[in-house]
């Protein structure tokens, strides 16, 4: 794929963006890329450059861009209205499908973003327990709410379990309400929970933290210690839900939390996310089921809107088809294996890590198991790798590759050729 220099149109658009948007972008990493359209596994920028897309809108386009069946149901619903601030049949049907699919889901509430979903999940856990503190894992990403932005990416991490704010504008008092533990370190995590169990309202974790797999026994041990102290365990499955398997990471690993959050793959490319969990916790969102002081209102103008609901339902239907996950895993594993093999042949210290459906590379020869070990990897080389891939016609997120059900043999071949080109440059 030949890549053109930025066109005059692209330069003009970027100039306009800088006049009206802070930093000239939407705030997301890689926002200087101006995408005009997407189809299947490919996207095209406003200068006409074509890319094999492993960014996939940061994950939600699991069945590819502009999937004809998804577009068909969306067009049909557009004729009947886009949002009502009221219940609708499609949202009910999507909730029913989530309850069928996800082990912990007995009841469901919809939001418009993962940030909202994790905020409400943590609030529901606190409403249920009557306790204020939340334990999260250093380096874990749970969106942009104040609790999620504690020790998400600290440059100088404090001693556990002290939290550090990752953003300006967060009240200092929030730091006192969040405890931080090291991912994959069950001994340290259990000790923190034991010491603070009478203060903890909940524990939230990505079952695969960014692309770091849990060590054998880690999730099981976390489930055991939280269950012992009756502390709700929240799996943030915004990324892993309907991606690692149809029932998410909790089905894949065989560990059932009390609550989970879902999004991305569940929404068919539209703004929708989910809080799902056990009835006794979710009932705190029902004023008829709990006392007035136990009620937790959850209001959102676009929550469960019918456009997002029909897109999500059709996406899940596509994912349920025979052989879909097998093909997804084969494609992803071949891509991972090719990248690791080429890096090894070039004698570049690197570890390709994650699940076959979402993964990334860390440029290090050391073991990577938690956030602090990620800090030892060569971040500048990863940035160089990402930029060079983009120049070679392949785009990914700054933290990961996402694989879709529509990446083809041709995509894989071209991706491997791009890897070869990029790795040659890394050796210079």
CATH number of the domain at 77, please: 3.40.640.10
Percent of the chain clearing pLDDT 70 (strictly above): 99
- My answer on whether 216 and 75 are in the same domain is yes
Tally Cβ neighbours within 10 Å of residue 138. 25
Q: What's the pTM?
A: 0.97
Q: How confident is the model at residue 30 (pLDDT cuts 50, 70, 90)?
A: low
Domain that holds residue 39: 8-66+322-427
| pLDDT score, position 41 | 98
Residue 83 has pLDDT above 80, yes or no: yes
161 in a domain, yes or no? yes
Residue 217 has pLDDT above 60, yes or no: yes
**Would you say 364 and 350 are in contact if contact means Cβ atoms under 8 Å apart?**
yes
- My answer on whether 138 and 35 are in the same domain is no
362 in a domain, yes or no? yes
Question: Measured in whole angstroms, how far is the alpha carbon of residue 195 from the centre of its chain?
Answer: 30
1 in a domain, yes or no? no
388 in a domain, yes or no? yes
Residue 254 has pLDDT above 90, yes or no: yes
Residue 411 has pLDDT above 70, yes or no: yes
- My answer on whether 153 and 301 are in the same domain is yes
| pLDDT score, position 2 | 57
Q: How confident is the model at residue 167 (pLDDT cuts 50, 70, 90)?
A: very high
- My answer on whether 170 and 220 are in the same domain is yes
Q: Which of 297, 319, 341 delimits the end of a domain?
A: 319
Total structural domains within the chain = 2
3 in a domain, yes or no? no
* Distance separating alpha carbons of residues 95 and 109, to the nearest angstrom: 8
2 in a domain, yes or no? no
List beta partners, residue 265.
none
């Amino acid at each position: 794929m030949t890549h053109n220099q930025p066109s005059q149109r692209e330069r003009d658009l970027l100039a306009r963006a800088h006049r009206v948007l802070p930093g000239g972008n939407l705030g997301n990493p890689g926002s200087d890329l101006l995408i005009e359209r997407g189809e299947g596994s490919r996207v095209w920028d406003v200068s006409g450059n074509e890319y094999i897309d492993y960014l996939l809108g940061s994950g939600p386009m699991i069945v590819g861009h502009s999937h004809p069946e998804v577009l068909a149901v969306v067009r049909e619903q557009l004729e009947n209205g886009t949002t009502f601030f009221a219940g609708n049949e499609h949202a009910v049907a999507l909730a029913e499908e989530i309850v069928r699919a996800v082990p912990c889901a007995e009841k469901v509430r919809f939001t418009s973003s993962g940030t909202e979903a994790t905020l409400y999940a943590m609030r529901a856990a606190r409403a249920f327990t009557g306790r204020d503190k939340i334990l999260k894992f250093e380096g874990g990403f749970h969106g942009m709410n104040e609790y999620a932005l504690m020790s998400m990416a600290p440059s100088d991490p404090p001693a556990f379990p002290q939290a550090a704010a990752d953003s300006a504008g967060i009240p200092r008092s929030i730091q006192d309400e969040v405890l931080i533990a090291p991912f994959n370190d069950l001994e340290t995590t259990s000790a923190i929970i034991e010491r603070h169990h009478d203060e903890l309202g909940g524990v939230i974790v990505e079952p695969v933290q960014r692309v770091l797999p849990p060590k054998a026994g880690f999730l099981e041990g976390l489930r055991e210690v939280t269950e012992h102290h009756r502390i709700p365990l929240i799996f943030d499955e915004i990324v892993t839900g309907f991606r690692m398997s149809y029932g998410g990471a909790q089905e894949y690993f065989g560990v059932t939390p009390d609550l989970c959050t879902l999004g991305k793959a569940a929404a068919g490319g539209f703004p929708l996310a989910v809080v799902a969990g056990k009835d006794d916790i979710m009932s705190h969102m029902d004023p008829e089921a709990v006392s007035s002081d136990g009620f937790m209102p959850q209001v959102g103008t676009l929550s469960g809107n019918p456009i997002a609901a029909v897109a999500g339902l059709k996406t899940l239907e596509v994912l349920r088809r025979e052989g879909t996950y097998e093909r997804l895993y084969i494609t992803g594993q071949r891509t991972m294996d090719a990248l690791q093999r080429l890096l090894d042949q070039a004698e570049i210290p690197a570890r390709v890590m994650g699940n076959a459906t979402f993964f990334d590379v860390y440029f290090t020869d050391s073991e990577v198991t938690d956030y602090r070990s990620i800090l030892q990897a060569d971040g500048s080389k990863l940035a160089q790798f990402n930029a060079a891939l983009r120049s070679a016609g392949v785009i990914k997120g700054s933290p990961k590759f996402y694989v879709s059900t529509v990446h083809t043999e041709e995509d894989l071949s071209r991706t491997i050729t791009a890897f070869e080109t990029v790795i040659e440059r890394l050796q210079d």
